Amino acid sequence: MTKFGKTKLRAFYLKKRLLLTQAENQQKSRQICENILQLKQTESKNFVACYFAINNEPNIQEVIDHFLNTGNTVTAPAFFNKLKGYKFVKFFNWQNLTPGPYQIPQPSILTPIDPKNIDLAFIPGLSFAKNGTRLGYGKGVYDKLMTNTNALKIGVCFDFQVIDNFNAESHDLRVDFIITEKRLIKTRNC
């Protein structure tokens, strides 16, 4: 897949992910959550950035609930109309979600969180290279959101979304770990 440009890679992996049945997604997502919750690196973290699954992404609700129940501050991206951009905001509970741009759920109460406080981030992607480079939807949302944070970044995807490499650009986000239903790939020394 490395010979294709980013646009073709995005289309290929989005289509492949959308072909997963609901049962396959649930089973793989459950295993991903189990794998995340066994990670020692996620312990002793206070501010956790998460995402809400769309387009058949791995559903990490079980992980989000775990961090909510253990008293962590859970955050999620939310679009601010005045800024015409995204910021991390506090996530209080599942009842306070509203559709944002592209129908991505986001907290309806927009309480911004300083990205410098975030020490653990779960990041979705259409694909991840084994060196940790993320291929997203091409809007640069996570590239921008994660620039002012030293959070431990964990890329979350299904195993078929991990590829050897692709032509990355300097602004492309790199994660410290990639976690799938089958494995954990450490991409940096953390």
pLDDT value at position 5? 84
CA distances to 7, 141, 185 from 3, rounded to whole Å, are: 12, 25, 23
Query: Taking the domains of the chain in order of start, what are their residue ranges?
Result: 6-186
CATH number of 6-186: 3.40.50.10420
DSSP letter for 181, please: S
Report the C-alpha gap between 41 and 45 in whole angstroms. Answer: 9
Q: Indicate the pTM of the whole model.
A: 0.94
94 three-state secondary structure: helix
Spans in the chain with pLDDT lower than 70? 1-4, 189-190
Q: Which two tokens stand for residue 101?
A: 């741009």
pLDDT in tens, 105-144: 999 999 999 999 999 999 999 999 999 999 999 888 999 9
Helices (H), the chain: 6-18, 22-37, 61-69, 141-145
